[in-house]
Amino acid sequence: MGAVVAFEVARRLQASGDAGPTLLITSGRRAPSRQRRHQDVHRRDDAGIVAELRRLAGTDSRLLGDEEILRMILPAIRADYTAIETYQPGEDALVHCPVTAFTGDADPQTTIDEADAWRDHTTGAFGLRVFPGGHFYLAEDPGPVIAAIRAELGAQTAAVPAASGPSPKPSQAASSRTSAR
């Protein structure tokens, strides 16, 4: 759901005249143009929602077995499923920043092809990173994911032109480097 929220925030920033983000990284979510039929988790009874959470294997089973906690969290989980399963992107579902889609190679929610379709939703550069694992691949082995995020951010930082203005004097530059250590 976070990928769609970030995408829509980026679109709204652009529409308001803001430059928008310099990079959008999506994770574990098919592209907006890849709608699936029969998305019905939000219509299931509580047991059906819990079964879906178990299938995705991202929620501690102790929480799913605690009736009091379930009574507290199931309304919010149902609302999240309702929002994401009924989401309809606009016809102009594009961002102008680069997009990199991350996904797990065994994600039951997002195929590699569905993640790759994010390329159709940007006028900027596109990248696809596939990691071993399911929908919660990033929790299974966070090291490679963190490294990939750092690499993407580093590439974007290198691509963004330096701010205009006077260059620092040599003594200021040296003290800046020293203080950054």
Q: Reading across the β-sheet that carries 126-131, which strands appear in turn?
A: 24-27, 99-104, 126-131
Task: Tell me the two tokens of residue 57.
Answer: 């294997």
Q: Which residue has the tokens 């680069």?
A: 98
Distance set, CA 152 to CA 10, 65, 104, 159, 176 (Å): 17, 39, 17, 11, 25
pLDDT tens digits, one per residue of 46-75: 999 999 999 888 888 899 999 999 999 999
Domain boundaries, the chain: 2-35+88-159
> What confidence tier does 10 reach under pLDDT thresholds 50, 70, 90?
very high
Residue 5 has pLDDT above 60, yes or no: yes
**How far apart are the C-alpha atoms of 98 and 144, rounded to whole Å?**
21
Q: Which residue has the tokens 């803001």?
A: 18
Q: Find, among 172, 176, 30, the residue nearest to 112 by Cα.
A: 30
**Mean pLDDT across 26-48:** 89
Query: pTM higher than 0.85 for the full model?
Result: no
pLDDT tens digits, one per residue of 130-166: 999 999 999 989 999 999 999 999 988 787 665 444 4
pLDDT tens digits, one per residue of 75-130: 999 999 999 999 988 777 999 999 999 999 999 989 999 999 999 999 999 999 99
Residue 177 has pLDDT above 60, yes or no: no
Q: Classify domain 2-35+88-159 at the CATH topology level.
A: Rossmann fold (3.40.50)
Residue 168 has pLDDT above 90, yes or no: no
